[in-house]
Amino acid sequence: MKKRCIITFIILIVLVLLIGAIFLLKKTNKDRIINKTYEIIEENNIQKNKDIKDANDLYVKIDGNNVIGIIKIEKIKYEGLIFEGTTMDILDKGIGHFKSSPLIDGNVCLAGHNYYNVWKNLNKLEKGDNIEYTCIFGKKNYRVSDIRQIEDTDTSVLENTQDNIITLITCVKNKPSKRLCVQAIEI
């Protein structure tokens, strides 16, 4: 009986170590992809390199998807890739950019799932918190200026503006017809 307990204990330890290793590899791979994306964006920065031939030059290709940039929100410890489009397929990979919104000046509009590894903690942001956005046009820093719940049909927050702002939208837990809308103005 004692031998069976020891074997069970060893198996549990091996399983925990294996799960930990898988988690670490996934995080390391994500960090590697983000770092590589920063490098590619820097190499192709439009401010330095004015040789843009077509719209495809605005993207970084990652696993066949058009990546437009990276968003970093220190307060909630989130850093992730921004993909072009807001289809469910895209949002399952990361943050989506509304195609109708600009990439750098005006109202840059992004959407993400309210999942544990995406924007689950977006609701923890407060006015004054910082958001960093990097794309091929450069890097911008924003300060949160407005946080509110909107109806899922409210598209007024996606309209372009004269001011440089960023709009982040995610679902509200247990409220299917509501969206959390966080807006921040460039600093």
**Residue in the structure block whose two tokens are 């399983």:** 15
pTM of the model: 0.77
What is the greatest pairwise CA distance in the chain?
74
Total residues belonging to the chain: 187
Q: Give the DSSP letter of residue 119.
A: T
Sign of CA dihedral 42, 46, 47, 50: positive
- Residue 156 burial (CB < 10 Å; 0-12/13-18/19+)? exposed
DSSP letter at 104 equals: S
Domains belonging to the chain, first-starting first, are: 40-186 (2.40.260.10)
Q: What is the Cα–Cα distance from 169 to 91, expressed in whole angstroms?
A: 12
Side chain identity, residue 25: L
Please give the Cα distance from 68 to 96 (Å, whole number).
9
Per-residue pLDDT of the chain (187 residues; tens, 9 = 90+): 777 888 887 887 887 777 766 666 566 667 777 777 777 777 766 555 555 544 555 667 766 778 889 999 999 999 999 999 999 989 988 899 999 999 989 999 999 999 877 899 999 999 999 999 998 888 999 999 999 999 999 999 999 999 999 999 999 999 999 999 999 999 9
Q: How far apart are CA 57 and CA 28, in angstroms?
A: 27
Q: Where do we find the tokens 């999942």?
A: 115
Q: Identity (one letter) of the amino acid at 32?
A: R
Q: Which residues contact 39 (CB under 8 A, 6 or more apart)?
A: none
Q: Which amino acid is it at 27? A: K
Paired strand residues for 139: 134
